[in-house]
A and B are shown apart, each in its own frame.
Chain A
Amino acid sequence: TQLLEQSPQFLSIQEGENLTVYCNSSSVFSSLQWYRQEPGEGPVLLVTVVTGGEVKKLKRLTFQFGDARKDSSLHITAAQPGDTGLYLCARWVAGNMLTFGGGTRLMVKP
């Protein structure tokens, strides 16, 4: 049973479109991380959100942590082919176990 549910599982869009992916949990978490993974490589951390209602921006990526700290979203504006990859949310459980959601696989077509 995954503690983190991500949606959608797959997303295929055209270059220039906007998109949002979601990460939800039934439990409250102290912080949440978003990672991006390209084919053949390990995940790379994009951001950590720690405060309810927090919004962080990373160029065209906007990350939001829900007020109740049970959910998070990642919004990409004007997607580019270079944004193609697997987006994973993750949270630390019991201090030493980083658990991941199932991921959203994004493909941006030129």
Chain B
Amino acid sequence: NAGVTQTPKFQVLKTGQSMTLQCAQDMNHEYMSWYRQDPGMGLRLIHYSVGEGTTAKGEVPDGYNVSRLKKQNFLLGLESAAPSQTSVYFCAIRLTGTNYEQYFGPGTRLTVT
């Protein structure tokens, strides 16, 4: 996961608190995305970005906001955390010229109490 870093690795929030999950790439890829993974389930796309300054909704965008002010960074915000947002969050980049392979970061484990 050397190319994609996520901070923090772990976080505990109380209901109603806000926070921002950070994702950074050390390459120059246009496409970045955020997923959540609940226990025993596959990954679900929250938001994605096809380039600096652009973002779009994925499958489960409600309760989240994102920003892509710089190409290297994609931020995921929770304005008012809810227990239903307890999950593991993964950031990914899409490699070019490789059948659209997604390369994932190590994940952030978030617990909302």
Q: A residues touching B (Cβ–Cβ < 8 Å)?
A: 2, 6, 9, 31, 33, 40-45, 48, 50, 88, 92, 96-103, 105
Contact = CB atoms under 8 A, between A and B. Distances in A.
A92 B104 contact: no
Residue of B1, B56, B104 contacting most chain A CB atoms (<10 Å)? B104
A50 B99 contact: yes
A6 B106 CA distance: 24
Contacts of B92: 42
A102 B102 contact: no
A84 B45 CA distance: 25
A33 B99 contact: yes
Contacts of A45: 101-103
Contacts of A97: 45, 48, 58-59
A42 B106 contact: yes
Contacts of A44: 104
Contacts, number: 59
Given A43-B104, A97-B48, 4 more contacts: A31-B100, A41-B1, A42-B104, A44-B104
Interface of B: 1, 31, 33, 40-45, 48, 50, 56, 58-59, 90, 92, 99-107
Nearest to B107: A42
A40 B37 CA distance: 11
B41 A103 contact: yes
A44 B104 CA distance: 7
Nearest to A92: B100
Contacts of A101: 42
Contact of A33 (B1, B101, B105): B101
Nearest to B94: A98
